[in-house]
A and B are shown apart, each in its own frame.
Chain A
Amino acid sequence: QSALTQPPSASGSPGQSVTISCTGTGSDVGDYNFVSWYQHHPGKAPKLMIYEVSKRPSGVPARFSGSRSGNTASLTVSGLQAEDEGDYYCSSYIAGVTVLFGGGTKLTVL
Protein backbone atom coordinates (compact mmCIF):
# COMPACT_ATOMS: atom_id res chain seq x y z
CA GLN A 1 0.00 0.00 0.00
CA SER A 2 1.50 3.35 -1.04
CA ALA A 3 1.63 6.28 1.35
CA LEU A 4 -0.99 8.98 1.08
CA THR A 5 0.17 11.88 -1.08
CA GLN A 6 1.02 15.20 0.53
CA PRO A 7 2.90 18.19 -0.88
CA PRO A 8 6.45 18.21 0.51
CA SER A 9 6.22 21.83 1.57
CA ALA A 10 3.82 24.68 2.27
CA SER A 11 4.32 28.19 3.54
CA GLY A 12 2.55 31.35 4.58
CA SER A 13 3.12 34.61 6.39
CA PRO A 14 1.92 35.23 9.93
CA GLY A 15 -1.81 35.84 9.97
CA GLN A 16 -2.41 34.16 6.63
CA SER A 17 -4.15 30.86 5.97
CA VAL A 18 -2.52 27.79 4.48
CA THR A 19 -4.07 24.51 3.35
CA ILE A 20 -2.28 21.18 3.15
CA SER A 21 -3.77 18.43 1.03
CA CYS A 22 -3.71 14.66 1.54
CA THR A 23 -4.72 12.51 -1.41
CA GLY A 24 -5.59 8.86 -1.13
CA THR A 25 -7.97 6.52 -2.89
CA GLY A 26 -11.51 5.27 -2.60
CA SER A 27 -10.17 2.51 -0.33
CA ASP A 28 -8.84 4.80 2.36
CA VAL A 29 -9.40 8.58 2.54
CA GLY A 30 -12.49 8.39 0.37
CA ASP A 31 -14.03 5.41 2.10
CA TYR A 32 -13.74 6.02 5.83
CA ASN A 33 -14.31 8.94 8.19
CA PHE A 34 -11.04 8.11 9.96
CA VAL A 35 -8.67 10.74 8.61
CA SER A 36 -6.34 12.30 11.16
CA TRP A 37 -3.68 15.02 11.11
CA TYR A 38 -0.55 15.21 13.26
CA GLN A 39 1.88 18.03 13.96
CA HIS A 40 5.48 17.03 14.50
CA HIS A 41 8.33 19.17 15.67
CA PRO A 42 11.61 17.25 15.15
CA GLY A 43 12.86 15.67 18.33
CA LYS A 44 9.48 15.93 19.99
CA ALA A 45 6.41 13.73 20.24
CA PRO A 46 3.96 14.04 17.36
CA LYS A 47 0.67 15.68 18.35
CA LEU A 48 -2.85 14.84 17.18
CA MET A 49 -4.43 17.95 15.65
CA ILE A 50 -7.50 16.64 13.80
CA TYR A 51 -9.33 13.32 13.92
CA GLU A 52 -12.29 11.83 12.05
CA VAL A 53 -11.73 14.29 9.19
CA SER A 54 -12.74 17.48 10.98
CA LYS A 55 -12.84 17.04 14.77
CA ARG A 56 -10.39 18.87 17.02
CA PRO A 57 -9.09 17.31 20.24
CA SER A 58 -9.39 19.36 23.38
CA GLY A 59 -6.65 21.97 23.55
CA VAL A 60 -6.06 22.29 19.80
CA PRO A 61 -6.70 25.87 18.66
CA ALA A 62 -9.75 26.52 16.49
CA ARG A 63 -7.34 27.90 13.87
CA PHE A 64 -6.82 24.28 12.81
CA SER A 65 -9.59 22.75 10.74
CA GLY A 66 -10.02 19.67 8.60
CA SER A 67 -12.19 18.77 5.65
CA ARG A 68 -12.50 16.22 2.86
CA SER A 69 -13.68 16.18 -0.71
CA GLY A 70 -13.75 12.81 -2.42
CA ASN A 71 -10.39 11.09 -1.97
CA THR A 72 -8.59 14.25 -0.77
CA ALA A 73 -8.52 15.48 2.80
CA SER A 74 -7.26 18.91 3.76
CA LEU A 75 -5.86 20.63 6.82
CA THR A 76 -6.28 24.40 6.99
CA VAL A 77 -4.37 26.56 9.41
CA SER A 78 -5.87 30.02 9.70
CA GLY A 79 -4.17 33.01 11.27
CA LEU A 80 -0.73 31.41 10.97
CA GLN A 81 1.55 31.77 13.96
CA ALA A 82 5.26 31.16 14.26
CA GLU A 83 4.70 28.12 16.49
CA ASP A 84 2.68 26.43 13.73
CA GLU A 85 5.89 25.80 11.83
CA GLY A 86 6.72 22.10 11.66
CA ASP A 87 5.93 18.88 9.87
CA TYR A 88 2.35 17.78 9.31
CA TYR A 89 1.22 14.24 8.53
CA CYS A 90 -2.16 12.93 7.53
CA SER A 91 -3.30 9.39 8.15
CA SER A 92 -6.22 7.23 7.17
CA TYR A 93 -7.65 3.96 8.37
CA ILE A 94 -7.51 1.25 5.72
CA ALA A 95 -8.81 -2.03 7.05
CA GLY A 96 -8.47 -4.23 10.11
CA VAL A 97 -6.24 -2.15 12.33
CA THR A 98 -4.01 -0.83 9.56
CA VAL A 99 -3.35 2.89 9.32
CA LEU A 100 -1.65 4.57 6.37
CA PHE A 101 0.28 7.82 6.73
CA GLY A 102 1.08 10.54 4.25
CA GLY A 103 4.65 11.44 3.38
CA GLY A 104 4.49 14.64 5.41
CA THR A 105 4.43 18.36 4.63
CA LYS A 106 6.93 20.83 6.02
CA LEU A 107 5.07 24.02 6.94
CA THR A 108 7.17 27.18 7.01
CA VAL A 109 5.95 30.42 8.52
CA LEU A 110 7.68 33.16 6.55
Chain B
Amino acid sequence: EVQLVESGGGLVQPGGSLRLSCAASGFTFSTYWMSWVRQAPGKGLEWVATIDQDGSEKTHVDSVKGRFTISRDNARNSLYLQMNSLRAEDTAVYYCAIRFHHRFDYWGQGTLVTVAS
Protein backbone atom coordinates (compact mmCIF):
# COMPACT_ATOMS: atom_id res chain seq x y z
CA GLU B 1 0.00 0.00 0.00
CA VAL B 2 1.35 3.40 -1.00
CA GLN B 3 1.89 5.68 1.99
CA LEU B 4 3.07 9.28 2.07
CA VAL B 5 3.44 10.85 5.50
CA GLU B 6 4.32 14.52 5.79
CA SER B 7 5.87 16.11 8.86
CA GLY B 8 7.67 19.23 9.93
CA GLY B 9 4.87 21.76 9.81
CA GLY B 10 4.15 24.23 12.57
CA LEU B 11 3.97 27.87 13.56
CA VAL B 12 6.80 30.10 12.35
CA GLN B 13 7.33 33.84 12.33
CA PRO B 14 7.51 35.81 9.08
CA GLY B 15 11.02 35.59 7.70
CA GLY B 16 11.63 32.27 9.40
CA SER B 17 12.44 28.83 8.01
CA LEU B 18 10.97 25.35 8.12
CA ARG B 19 11.91 22.04 6.56
CA LEU B 20 9.09 19.72 5.60
CA SER B 21 9.65 15.99 5.18
CA CYS B 22 7.64 13.31 3.45
CA ALA B 23 8.28 9.65 4.28
CA ALA B 24 7.35 7.34 1.42
CA SER B 25 6.61 3.63 1.48
CA GLY B 26 4.79 0.95 -0.48
CA PHE B 27 6.36 1.80 -3.84
CA THR B 28 9.80 2.17 -5.43
CA PHE B 29 10.42 5.77 -4.41
CA SER B 30 13.55 6.25 -6.51
CA THR B 31 11.69 5.65 -9.78
CA TYR B 32 9.06 8.38 -9.42
CA TRP B 33 8.95 12.13 -9.81
CA MET B 34 7.63 13.74 -6.64
CA SER B 35 5.90 17.03 -5.92
CA TRP B 36 4.69 19.35 -3.20
CA VAL B 37 1.22 20.89 -3.49
CA ARG B 38 -0.30 23.32 -1.00
CA GLN B 39 -3.73 24.57 0.01
CA ALA B 40 -4.09 27.89 1.78
CA PRO B 41 -7.03 28.26 4.20
CA GLY B 42 -10.27 28.55 2.24
CA LYS B 43 -8.41 28.40 -1.07
CA GLY B 44 -7.81 25.86 -3.80
CA LEU B 45 -4.83 23.65 -4.49
CA GLU B 46 -1.57 25.14 -5.76
CA TRP B 47 1.35 23.18 -7.22
CA VAL B 48 4.56 24.25 -5.44
CA ALA B 49 7.48 22.18 -6.70
CA THR B 50 8.49 19.01 -8.54
CA ILE B 51 11.67 16.95 -8.54
CA ASP B 52 12.74 14.17 -10.88
CA GLN B 53 13.84 10.68 -9.88
CA ASP B 54 17.48 11.43 -9.06
CA GLY B 55 17.09 15.04 -7.96
CA SER B 56 18.84 16.53 -10.97
CA GLU B 57 15.77 18.41 -12.25
CA LYS B 58 13.81 20.67 -9.93
CA THR B 59 11.05 23.15 -10.74
CA HIS B 60 9.31 25.58 -8.41
CA VAL B 61 6.29 27.86 -8.82
CA ASP B 62 7.33 31.47 -9.38
CA SER B 63 5.97 32.66 -6.01
CA VAL B 64 8.46 30.49 -4.07
CA LYS B 65 11.50 30.61 -6.36
CA GLY B 66 14.61 31.64 -4.45
CA ARG B 67 12.92 30.88 -1.10
CA PHE B 68 11.86 27.21 -1.26
CA THR B 69 13.93 24.23 -2.40
CA ILE B 70 12.66 20.74 -3.09
CA SER B 71 15.04 17.83 -2.55
CA ARG B 72 15.01 14.09 -1.96
CA ASP B 73 17.02 11.28 -0.40
CA ASN B 74 16.33 8.05 -2.25
CA ALA B 75 18.29 6.01 0.28
CA ARG B 76 15.87 7.18 2.97
CA ASN B 77 12.74 7.15 0.73
CA SER B 78 12.17 10.75 1.71
CA LEU B 79 11.14 13.99 0.06
CA TYR B 80 11.88 17.41 1.52
CA LEU B 81 10.87 21.03 1.13
CA GLN B 82 13.21 23.62 2.63
CA MET B 83 11.25 26.83 3.13
CA ASN B 84 13.11 30.05 3.89
CA SER B 85 12.01 33.69 4.15
CA LEU B 86 8.49 32.55 4.93
CA ARG B 87 5.60 34.96 4.39
CA ALA B 88 2.05 35.05 5.71
CA GLU B 89 0.81 34.00 2.28
CA ASP B 90 2.76 30.74 2.59
CA THR B 91 0.35 29.63 5.31
CA ALA B 92 -1.19 26.42 4.00
CA VAL B 93 -1.48 22.68 4.32
CA TYR B 94 1.41 21.20 2.35
CA TYR B 95 0.92 17.84 0.63
CA CYS B 96 3.53 15.61 -0.94
CA ALA B 97 2.39 13.64 -3.95
CA ILE B 98 3.65 11.13 -6.47
CA ARG B 99 3.89 12.87 -9.80
CA PHE B 100 3.34 10.62 -12.81
CA HIS B 101 3.29 12.25 -16.22
CA HIS B 102 1.26 15.36 -15.50
CA ARG B 103 -0.96 14.12 -12.70
CA PHE B 104 -0.64 13.33 -8.99
CA ASP B 105 -1.38 9.66 -8.41
CA TYR B 106 -1.14 9.50 -4.62
CA TRP B 107 -1.11 12.15 -1.94
CA GLY B 108 -0.29 12.34 1.73
CA GLN B 109 -2.65 13.82 4.31
CA GLY B 110 -0.64 17.00 4.59
CA THR B 111 1.13 19.08 7.21
CA LEU B 112 0.02 22.55 8.28
CA VAL B 113 2.39 25.48 8.05
CA THR B 114 1.30 28.70 9.76
CA VAL B 115 3.32 31.86 9.25
CA ALA B 116 2.35 34.46 11.81
CA SER B 117 3.86 36.67 14.48
- A: which residues have CB within 8 A of B? 3, 32, 34, 36, 38, 40, 43-48, 51-52, 57, 89, 91, 93, 96-104
Contacts and interface: CB of A to CB of B under 8 A. Distances in A.
B59 A96 contact: yes
17 contacts: A34-B102, A34-B103, A38-B104, A46-B95, A46-B97, A47-B107, A51-B103, A52-B103, A91-B104, A93-B102, A97-B59, A98-B61, A99-B103, A100-B47, A101-B44, A101-B45, A103-B44
Majority DSSP secondary structure for residues of B touching A: strand
A32 to B, nearest CB: 7
A34 B44 CA distance: 19
Interface of B: 4, 33, 37, 43-47, 50, 57, 59, 61, 95, 97, 99, 101-110
Contact of A104 (B45, B97, B102): B45
A77 B108 CA distance: 24
Contacts of A102: 44
Contact of A36 (B50, B57, B59, B103): B103
Given A48-B103, A48-B105, A89-B45, 20 more contacts: A3-B44, A34-B101, A36-B103, A36-B104, A43-B109, A44-B109, A46-B97, A48-B104, A51-B101, A52-B103, A57-B105, A91-B45, A96-B59, A97-B33, A97-B50, A99-B102, A99-B103, A101-B47, A102-B44, A104-B44
Contact of B45 (A38, A51, A57): A38
Given A91-B103, A99-B102, A45 B95 contact: yes
